[in-house]
């Protein structure tokens, strides 16, 4: 999944560059408003490409998934309030 997102990101960024360069290299000779419109479209592509590239896939590990270290996972769960302290435990 990561490779597919990366390919989509590079395709979108490549399209952004093609739009921007062609707008001011060729299109402006025939229509400046069309070149400006192409630049506005190119301006919207990078944030969308970043969202696509950083989107979490269904099989991706996320920041709150267990790390595999039981002691660390228990500590983080306690900090996040997912697990209550036993009444006989004392805070340090």
Is 86 among the domain residues? Answer: no
* Residue ranges in the chain whose pLDDT is less than 50: none
Is 75 among the domain residues? Answer: no
Let me know: does 58 contact 77? Beta carbons within 8 Å. Answer: no
- 15 contacts: CB under 8 Å, gap ≥ 6: 45
> Does the model's pTM come out above 0.85?
no
- 28 contacts: CB under 8 Å, gap ≥ 6: 35
Q: How many domains does the chain have?
A: 1
Q: What is the C-alpha separation between 32 and 35, in angstroms, rounded?
A: 5
H or E segment at 79? helix 70-80
Is 13 among the domain residues? Answer: yes
> Tell me, what's the pLDDT at 63?
63
Give the structural domain span for 23: 2-57
């Amino acid at each position: 999944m990561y490779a597919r997102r990366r390919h989509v990101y590079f395709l979108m960024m490549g399209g952004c560059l093609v739009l921007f360069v062609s707008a001011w290299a060729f299109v402006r000779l025939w229509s400046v408003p069309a070149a400006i419109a192409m630049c506005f479209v190119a301006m919207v592509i990078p944030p969308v490409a970043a969202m696509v590239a950083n989107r979490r896939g269904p099989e991706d590990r996320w920041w709150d998934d267990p790390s595999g270290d039981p002691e660390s996972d228990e500590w983080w769960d306690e900090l996040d309030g997912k697990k209550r302290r036993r009444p006989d435990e004392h805070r340090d």
